[in-house]
Amino acid sequence: LVFSNRCSIMIRALGFNGVNTVTLKNIRRSYSHGPPVTKPMIEDRVMLVLRLYDKVDPNKLSLSSDLAKDFGIDSLDHVELVMAIEEEFNFEIPDMDSEKFRTPGDIIRYICDKYDLYD
């Protein structure tokens, strides 16, 4: 291992054709969890996913909007939204849990619970 003054760590490993050098600052770290998540971050991400859905009017969307009553979201739309949320947050939401999502606030509370974030 070679440590430089500029805090870049170099690893030298013998390869078949000589010495290969890898700069660790260019390698993305993979941990079991990403960076710390906050409730405002979750709110922003959930609201962005909902705003991008074609049946949702972004100007009328609030944390207390009823997705079915205010935007006409039916069961198929609901499944599509849940799948988009699952993709955004990289975990699966059981059907029994997703059936309880009536408002963006419900979705945010559920995700905060998964990340152990409480008010």
- The string of DSSP codes covering the chain is -EE-TTS-EEEEEEETTEEEEEEGGGSPP--SS-S---HHHHHHHHHHHHHTSTTS-TTT--TT--HHHHH---HHHHHHHHHHHHHHHTS---HHHHTT--SHHHHHHHHHHHTT---
User: In this predicted model, which residue has the larger pLDDT, 62 or 119?
Assistant: 62
CATH of the domain at 48: 1.10.1200.10
Report the alpha-carbon distance of residue 22 to residue 11 in Å, rounded.
Answer: 6
Mean pLDDT along residues 113-117: 93
Does any domain span residue 87? yes
- Residues annotated as catalytic are 74
Does any domain span residue 90? yes
Q: What is the pLDDT of residue 31?
A: 58
Range of the domain at 58: 39-114
Does any domain span residue 21? no
pLDDT, tens digit, 9 for 90 and up, residues 56-110: 999 999 999 999 999 999 999 999 999 999 999 999 999 999 999 999 999 999 9
* Number of independent structural domains in the chain: 1
Report the alpha-carbon distance of residue 10 to residue 29 in Å, rounded.
Answer: 15
pLDDT, tens digit, 9 for 90 and up, residues 23-63: 444 445 555 666 788 999 999 999 999 999 999 999 999 99
Cβ atoms 8, 26 nearer than 8 A = no
Does any domain span residue 13? no
Report the alpha-carbon distance of residue 108 to residue 54 in Å, rounded.
Answer: 20
Task: Enter the pTM of the model.
Answer: 0.71
Does any domain span residue 72? yes
Does any domain span residue 95? yes
